[in-house]
Structure 1
Amino acid sequence: MPASPIAVLLVEDSPVALMILKRILAGSSEIEVVGVAQNGIEALEMIPKLQPKVICTDLNMPKMSGLELTRRVMAECPRPILVISASVDQQDDAQNVFQLLQAGALDVFPKPTVELLSEYEQIKHELITKIKIIAGVSVFTQHPGMRNKELVIKNSKRPENEELNPHQVNPYTFSNVRSTLPRVIAIGASTGGPQALFTILKSLPANFPIPILCVQHISVGFLDGLVGWLSTECQLRIVIARAGDVPQPGIVYFAPDHYHLQLDQQGRIALSSDVPVSGHRPSISMTFQAVANYYRQASLGILLTGMGRDGAEGLLAIARAGGTTIAQDEQSCIVFGMPKEAIALGAAQQILPIGEIAPKLLKQCLRQ
């Protein structure tokens, strides 16, 4: 028998946005909108009756906001939540979007508008894909006051192969692996990345002695909000990379929208508008490859949660150059796709839970 469609509850107070969302989702036989609420209070009343698999919510709504709704859902009836918000232009609201992720929502998506209908097919594909991805994620109760790192989120699928010891070194042999201390850290992430990055970066001190280059797959327009949110939560300085920047210790550089983050022959940041790689620009693998080419054995690559395979080949390039490579383990990933691909290639020398990556970095890098 064919699988039942994914039951979705829409929480949105704008009639126009609601009309567009319903039209988009009606175009997929794999999704069924089972209910519509205009605010969080209405949504909480509907959830026990409708039992939606996924909740799509706006941020700013009357009576009960998306943030309060997310907190209540995660405490009382946890299930995957996708934030669909127009709050990408105002810095305060953009940061508030990421507070929903901190509260337990899984991903963000820009609210479709009439002005964007020219890009209707692309928006439709991206939104339906996001809903299908997060529908396969198991979420667990997050009580009020629970610290972010205590929120347990994992992929609902069981490992297909033998269970991996998260602490074991991958048996793949790299003939040029050395004990060189890293001079740069490169991190790549996709779905679930903001939460994973928060866990890592919040644990690092302001005087961390190594620059960090980050590539986060995220809907266009949300990067400024992500950087602003992390900046308020972390001691490190967090910026969007600019061409010509020389990576400095204690600074986290994010690849900007629409550009690959690379390095020139002098080690300065270079931004490229070359074609997307595996559908992504910025591409994680492009940045990892640039780091491997310039820093060689002094590079350290980390591949975090995300769908697809971007980053797997790049992590292998770092390993082959003699650098250190880490993949997030399945149990702590929201989506295990990218780390799984890297592990299958033999690119991950270490496979660690998200909570153990920052302590590993501190132990290895503060020796300098």
Structure 2
Amino acid sequence: MTIKVLLVEDSPVAVTILKRMINSANDMSLVGTARTGVEALELIPKVKPDVICTDLMMPKMNGLELTRAIMASNPKPILVISACVQDEDKNNVFQLLDAGAVDVFPKPRTGNIEDYELITEKLLTKIRVLSGVKVFTKRSKNTSPILTNNGIPVKTNLENTNTTSSSFVKGIKVVAIASSTGGPQAFQEVLSQFPANFPVPILCVQHISSGFLDGFINWLKQYCNLPVVVARTGEIPQKSNIYFPPERQHLQLDAQGRFYCVEGVAVDGHCPSATVLFQNVARYYGSASLGVLMTGMGRDGALGLLTLKQKGAYTIAQDEATSVVFGMPQEAIRLGASKIVLPLPNIAGKIMELIS
């Protein structure tokens, strides 16, 4: 099946290069290009794209306004391709994710064709992933998102997700959470529910393109009652803090429980790696830890979550119905690494129940 792609981009040079990149794939077809969001909205019902790739900064209607319009009426998987990683633009990029875009991909700042060629396969992989994801219809700011699959509402299975647990867990000293594709929105939903007096540190890994970490953290800060910070080597994790590793560094713990952040070999294709985080937490905190693996492509985190469970930790995997991409939690479930499988809206409540 050929993936139909619509490109929304006002730079003629970028259009030419991106068009060549997309058409180089045997399984993709560029079905249209638009210079503005207004043109894109006119094209969508005609070309019926499977994936929409859009820039942020455009005349007449920018990428944020376009995303809001699409997700309110005719939801499609949207990939933001942008060079906007400057301080003044970072929050705007993540507002697109808040509006319903699925992922962000960095456009080379130089604009040189050689730099575009270096990222061709990564871009094509992103588009392939997005072509099969679920998307969220966002009707208004006052309405909860409705999970859809190609426009068809998906029923979420809420069985066995009540807040009464027969196996109450005592003595949790740390929460570790990881995700990939769809993760920024998942983190926002989970972390924003925790109170300012959350009694333990929260250690997190999110697979994100280089240059976007600071924007992601600043965006999360707008929704969270807890401080969201970048972990620093030598620091001891403090309660009521949310930590992410520096870009391209694993989040690890030394023998004294202090952060040890370092660039290392990619594990399951990623640095930072969810499995590295989970295995470090398992080694230091053991059964006094709680691990959560959420939406994402691939298998990173599955083995790490299994290690946590084997150490006696309580482990949670996000369910298929609410995962944008079910790859990572699905692999964990297949390995028997999750004690419980929950829909995204129930994860924060379960965590609070377990550490109360």
**Which band: TM-score by shorter chain?**
over 0.9
Secondary structure at the counterpart of residue 130 of structure 2: helix
- Equivalent residue for 1:256? 246
Structure 2, gaps ≥5 residues long: none
Q: Deviations over 1:234-255 (max 9, x none)?
A: 1110011111121111111101
Secondary structure at the counterpart of residue 233 of structure 1: coil
Q: Does 1:21 align with 2:11?
A: no
Among candidates 71, 76, 81, match of residue 74 of structure 1: 71
Q: Distance in 2 between matches of 1:280 and 1:351?
A: 24
Q: Does 1:269 align with 2:267?
A: no
Structure 1 residues 138-287: aligned runs within 5 Å = 138-147=134-143, 149-153=144-148, 167=160, 179-287=169-277
Residue 153 of structure 1 contacts residue 334 of structure 1 at CA under 8 Å; is this kept in 2?
no
Residue 53 of structure 2 contacts residue 78 of structure 2 at CA under 8 Å; is this kept in 1?
yes
Could you tell me how far 1:146 is from its partner in structure 2?
4.1
Q: Distance in 1 between matches of 2:235 and 2:180?
A: 24
Residue 20 of structure 1 contacts residue 113 of structure 1 at CA under 8 Å; is this kept in 2?
no
Q: Which amino acid aligns with 2:240?
A: G
| CA gap 1:289/1:102 in 2 versus in 1, 3 angstroms | same
| CA gap 1:358/1:178 in 2 versus in 1, 3 angstroms | closer
Q: Does 1:6 align with 2:7?
A: no
Q: Does 1:355 align with 2:351?
A: no
Among candidates 103, 108, 119, match of residue 104 of structure 2: 108
**Of 241-250 and 343-352, the range deviating more from structure 2:** 241-250
Q: Distance in 2 between matches of 1:327 and 1:184?
A: 17
Residue 166 of structure 1 contacts residue 351 of structure 1 at CA under 8 Å; is this kept in 2?
no
Residue 155 of structure 1 contacts residue 330 of structure 1 at CA under 8 Å; is this kept in 2?
no
- Equivalent residue for 2:60? 63
Q: Deviations over 1:133-177 (max 9, x none)?
A: 111023253212244x53425699xxxxxx9986389xxxxxxx9
Among candidates 306, 329, 347, match of residue 319 of structure 2: 329
Q: Distance in 1 between matches of 2:35 and 2:115?
A: 26
Q: How many residues are aligned here?
A: 349
Q: Distance in 2 between matches of 1:230 and 1:74?
A: 21
Secondary structure at the counterpart of residue 8 of structure 1: strand
Could you tell me how far 1:112 is from its partner in structure 2?
3.1
Residue 161 of structure 2 contacts residue 346 of structure 2 at CA under 8 Å; is this kept in 1?
no
Q: Give the structure-2-normalised TM-score.
A: 0.93
Could you tell me how far 1:14 is from its partner in structure 2?
1.4
Q: Distance in 2 between matches of 1:207 and 1:270?
A: 25
Q: Distance in 1 between matches of 2:215 and 2:101?
A: 15
Q: Which amino acid aligns with 2:37?
A: G
Residue 71 of structure 1 contacts residue 144 of structure 1 at CA under 8 Å; is this kept in 2?
no
Q: Deviations over 1:18-41 (max 9, x none)?
A: 222112112101111111111101
Q: Give the structure-1-normalised TM-score.
A: 0.90
Structure 1 residues 20-39: aligned runs within 5 Å = 20-39=17-36
Secondary structure at the counterpart of residue 270 of structure 1: strand
Q: Which amino acid aligns with 1:81?
A: I
Q: Which amino acid aligns with 1:223?
A: L
Could you tell me how far 1:117 is from its partner in structure 2?
4.5
Q: Distance in 2 between matches of 1:115 and 1:77?
A: 32
Q: Distance in 2 between matches of 1:119 and 1:282?
A: 23
Could you tell me how far 1:92 is from its partner in structure 2?
3.1
Residue 257 of structure 2 contacts residue 284 of structure 2 at CA under 8 Å; is this kept in 1?
yes
**Of 291-300 and 272-281, the range deviating more from structure 2:** 272-281
Q: Which amino acid aligns with 2:173?
A: R
Q: Which amino acid aligns with 1:282?
A: P
Q: Does 1:93 align with 2:83?
A: no
Calculate the aligned-residue CA RMSD, in Å.
2.2
Q: Distance in 1 between matches of 2:114 and 2:252?
A: 32
Residue 240 of structure 1 contacts residue 254 of structure 1 at CA under 8 Å; is this kept in 2?
yes
**Of 116-125 and 214-223, the range deviating more from structure 2:** 116-125
Residue 260 of structure 1 contacts residue 282 of structure 1 at CA under 8 Å; is this kept in 2?
yes
